[in-house]
Structure formats: C-alpha cells, structure tokens
Amino acid sequence: MMKDIPYTFNISAATGLPDSWDRHYERRLSSMKGQFEDTAAMEAMIAENEPVLYEVYELKRPEVAGELLHGVSVIRPGQVGNEYFMTKGHFHSLLETAEVYYCLQGEGMMVMETPEGDWNVQLFAPGTVLYVPPRWAHRSVNTGKDEDLILLFVYPGDAGHDYGTIEIQGFRKLVIEKDGEVKIVDNPRWVSPERRFV
C-alpha cells in the first residue's frame, strides 16, 4: 500500500491552472445535449467544431467520508445562442453534503437550486469564496467575454454526483446575454417539483 502522505500542488500565477493533478477531462458541447435552450444554435456549433465548454483537473482521493475531493475547473468563455457556456451541473448523490469554491480567475455565476425548487445565483470574481450548502444543485457559468473562469473546489469524499435530475429539464434559471448585459431568466422547460410527476 502506498503511504498516505500530505502533498501540495501549485496554482500558476500566470495561467491560473494547477501544476499537477491525477485526472484531467474535457466536456464538449455534444455531451450537453438538451441543456442549452437554443437547440438550433447548439446543433450548428456541434456540427461545426464541437467546442470544449469546460475542463476539470482532479486530485485522486478515496471517495469516502472524511476525505475531501478537490481540484480546479476551467469554464471557457462563449455562448450557445445567447446562453453562456456552463458546466453540466449536479446535485450531490449524498444530498446533505456541501461544497466550497474559490474563484482564482475570471468572472461568472453559480446557479443553484434545491429539490424543492428554491433557486439562488451568486457572482464569481477573483477572490470570491462561495459556500454551497447541503441540498443545493450547482452549475458554474462563465459570463466573461474572453477569459476562462477558473475555480478551486472542495467537497466531501462521499458526496457523489447526481446528474440525472438536472439532465431532464435543466436548472430553473438560465444565464443569458441580452442587450449586451448578463441576465438571469426563467428556464421555460423547467417544471416545479410538485407538478413534475403528475
């Protein structure tokens, strides 16, 4: 068994990226089908060049209580129609688990909601610490013009990810550009929890 010793990695001041990690993956637009409102714009972008929406750099730890999973996510600038690039977004499988984010670079928002349909949006700028309490699904959105949104994240080892609920109808709120400004608007496809299974 490998000895389990403390370790560090460093966030480059120049790039905002970590200098070491165990796993890196990219999420492309084609794996986000149904998540953007403007499906025609989405299909056209997929046909043209399949852009990367975001990347994640993860450190590997045992996925058990007491451990803290951590890494850096990088959301690219861009839009699908008038909707900003964003992460897939999820609840934690173990719903009663929190997450802490620290914004290293860029500007954006975290769009959040509970299973009961409460919603909340918080702003990111460099130096912002965000606390996502237990029960809140969360999705990062890059509202910047040209710059990556780069976030350090920490969450409990046993949290897990539940993407399914969000995949069905997205979040209650969308973040779009309208008249050159960032707007938070209702997602027309979203159905309130009490009407969802009627």
Residues in a beta bridge with 71: 58, 153
Tokens of 89: 């977004």
Answer yes or no whether residue 11 interacts with a copy of itself by CB under 8 A.
yes
Candidates 47-55, 78-86, 150-158, 168-176; binding stretch for a copy of itself (CB under 8 A) = 150-158
Does residue 176 interact with a copy of itself by CB under 8 A? no
Closer by beta carbon to a copy of itself, 9 or else 43: 9
Binding mask 64-103 for a copy of itself (x = CB under 8 A): -xxxx-x-----------------------x-xxxxx-x-
Q: Are 135 and 159 in contact (CB under 8 A)?
A: no
Per-residue binding letters, 103-142, with a copy of itself (x by CB under 8 A): -------x-x-----x-x-xxxxxxxxxxxxxxx------
Q: Which residues contact 53 (CB under 8 A, 6 or more apart)?
A: 27, 28, 29, 32, 75, 76, 78, 85, 86, 87
Which one of 1-9, 36-44, 83-91, 167-175 is the stretch in contact with a copy of itself (CB under 8 A)?
1-9
- Asked if 144 is part of the footprint of a copy of itself (rule: CB under 8 A), the reply reads no
SS3 assignment, position 29: helix
Determine the straight-line distance between the first and last CA of the chain, rounded to whole angstroms: 52
**Which position among 39, 93, 154, 186 is part of the footprint of a copy of itself (CB under 8 A)?**
154
Residue that is written with structure tokens 């992460």 in the block = 87
Answer whether 108's CB lies under 8 Å from 142's CB. yes
Closest contact distance (angstroms) between CB of 21 and a copy of itself is 10
DSSP string covering 139-176, please?
EEEE--SSSPEEEEEEEETT---B-HHHHHH--SEEEE
The size of the interface with a copy of itself (CB under 8 A), counted in residues, is: 50
From the CB of 4, what's the least distance to a copy of itself, in Å? 5
Contact residues toward a copy of itself (CB under 8 A) are 3-13, 18, 59, 61, 65-68, 70, 94, 96-100, 102, 110, 112, 118, 120, 122-136, 152, 154-157
